[in-house]
Amino acid sequence: MKFYNTLAGKKEKFKPLKKKFAGLYTCGPTVYDYAHLGNLRTYIFEDVLKRALILNGYRIKHVMNITDVGHLTSDADEGEDKMTKALRREEKPLTMEAMKELAYFYAEKFKKDIAELNILPPDIWCFASEHVKAQINLIKRLENNDYAYSTNDGVYFNVVKFKDYGKLARLRRLDNKSRTRVINPEKKNPRDFALWKFNEKLGWESPWGKGFPGWHIECSAMAMEYLGESFDIHCGGIDHIPVHHTNEIAQAEAATGKKFVNYWLHGNFLTLKGARMGKSKGNFLNLAEIKKKGFHPLDFRYLALTAHYRSPLLFSLEALKAAKIARQRLNNLFEFSFKLLKNQNSKFREAFFNAVNDDLNTPRALAVLWKNINSLNSRDFLWADRILGLGFDKIKKIGIPAEIAALAEKREKFRREKKWKEADKLRKELASLGWLTEDTPTGSRLIRKI
């Protein structure tokens, strides 16, 4: 398998740390609102990655965090805490209990969304608020190694001390460009980021004072807790490259002195009206909204598969309609096309597998599927669906009525005997009964008229 590794800046062959095992960490949702389709595109890409690893025979340990604390409105430690803002929006009291309730509510919605998109759930879900001790311990390690310092509003990571800071994003070494619009004068360097933020009213007690862990420390701490100090693959959207993942690497490697993650994979944006789909600008749609418009969640999954995960994908209702039509046709073909095709199509499987293993090239895999569509039996469809996740296994096969199957067999016999006239008569008879016959090089198949 080959993946584009952001850290290496090129496609690389995947070499796991342990034989046939992959440790996988994917940054999860901040549960202050419903996920939008942009977020969901990223989770679909990560699902394809996981399915591809499984199809290649890997055992996976997949960890996904739930950010229910510490994510400020700007990724760079400024602005209001997103959870606090949501409590205000929903006119709830500003208490830890209300925050927890809100987090559970949106976490459940998120789990339902991903189930509807046929995304395999992680082996471990971890809430940041339930791992505060691990985060405090990691900050202590950083303090002991002289990477952390305190100011009036929190504890910060000193990026100048970390030699390789910014290697993931290829940031020009401390170019003095502040990540924050409001420069905190107490920070030693503009890029220093918060490990802990003080808050007198809400939060947890810590050796530095009451408050919240920073957003970045949660992922480093929980990833290491469940996957060890070094593991195989870490993913997220491309927006995470310059700040969140850059800071995760700095924290983990400054604490352990070991390489944190070998492969970093990042998904490009879903865009709407020329801009990244996002909450801040208000240009977003969520799954419930497209369902109200008559789409199935898997129509969106199909749309996501039509673009390579490293390319931007332009969202429009027209594109979603085209995806819906294609998916329905596939479902229909799956339901009725298997009857007379006995052998599995190994050439198809090889081409499809190669596309997937070449940096998860789903558009190429779909093209291979459509190109071979006339010579696939139901087992080929189900095999491809182990990657695509379009839910063929859930389609109830109504089945072909026995008298129709008998007519089709009889026609097939005439065709083999080159009795074209008789075969044609039966074709017309089948059509009048609502069944179309399609002749392919490997046999005929039946499709119900819709």
Binding site for Zn ion (CB under 5 A): 27, 219
What's the longest Cα–Cα distance across the chain? 91
- Build a one-symbol-per-residue string for 345-384: x at contacts with ligand AMP by CB under 6 A, - elsewhere: ----------------------------------------
Count of chain residues binding ligand AMP (CB under 6 A): 17
Site for ligand AMP in 242-281 (CB under 6 A): 267, 269-270, 276-278
Cα(45)–Cα(24) distance, rounded to whole angstroms?
13
Cα(62)–Cα(9) distance, rounded to whole angstroms?
24
Please give the residue whose beta carbon sits closest to ligand AMP in the complex.
237
Query: Per DSSP, what are the bridge partners of residue 24?
Result: 62, 233
φ/ψ of residue 346, rounded to 5: -75, -25
Residue 219 contact partner, candidates ligand AMP, Zn ion, none, CB within 5 to 8 A by sort of partner: Zn ion
CB of 34 to Zn ion, least distance (A): 19
CB of 433 to ligand AMP, least distance (A): 47
Amino acid identity for residue 422 in this structure: E
Contacts of 376 (CB under 8 A, 6+ apart): 337, 341, 345, 348, 369, 384
Instruction: Give the nearer residue to ligand AMP in terms of CB position, either 240 or 308.
Output: 240
Cα(161)–Cα(138) distance, rounded to whole angstroms?
17
Residue from 173, 25, 33, 206 nearest 103 by CA: 33
Instruction: Give the nearer residue to Zn ion in terms of CB position, either 251 or 437.
Output: 251
CB of 383 to ligand AMP, least distance (A): 28
Place of tokens 């394809």: 48
Stretch that binds ligand AMP, among 34-42, 294-302, 330-338, 434-442 (CB under 6 A): 34-42
Query: Quick check: 206 and 136 in contact, CB under 8 A?
Result: yes
Site for ligand AMP in 216-245 (CB under 6 A): 236-237, 239-240
CB of 76 to Zn ion, least distance (A): 14
CB of 295 to ligand AMP, least distance (A): 18
CB of 87 to ligand AMP, least distance (A): 17
Site for ligand AMP contains 102 (CB under 6 A):
no
Q: What is the SS3 assignment for 14? A: coil
Instruction: Give the nearer residue to ligand AMP in terms of CB position, either 269 or 381.
Output: 269
Residue 39 contact partner, candidates ligand AMP, Zn ion, none, CB within 5 to 8 A by sort of partner: ligand AMP
Site for ligand AMP contains 42 (CB under 6 A):
yes
Amino acid identity for residue 443 in this structure: G
Residue 41 contact partner, candidates Zn ion, ligand AMP, none, CB within 5 to 8 A by sort of partner: ligand AMP
Contacts of 399 (CB under 8 A, 6+ apart): none
Query: Quick check: 138 and 251 in contact, CB under 8 A?
Result: yes
Q: In terms of DSSP H, where are the helices of 90-214?
A: 96-116, 132-144
Contacts of 402 (CB under 8 A, 6+ apart): none
Contacts of 395 (CB under 8 A, 6+ apart): 331, 334, 335
Residue 415 contact partner, candidates Zn ion, ligand AMP, none, CB within 5 to 8 A by sort of partner: none
Q: Which residues bind ligand AMP (CB under 6 A)?
A: 27, 29-30, 38-39, 41-42, 236-237, 239-240, 267, 269-270, 276-278
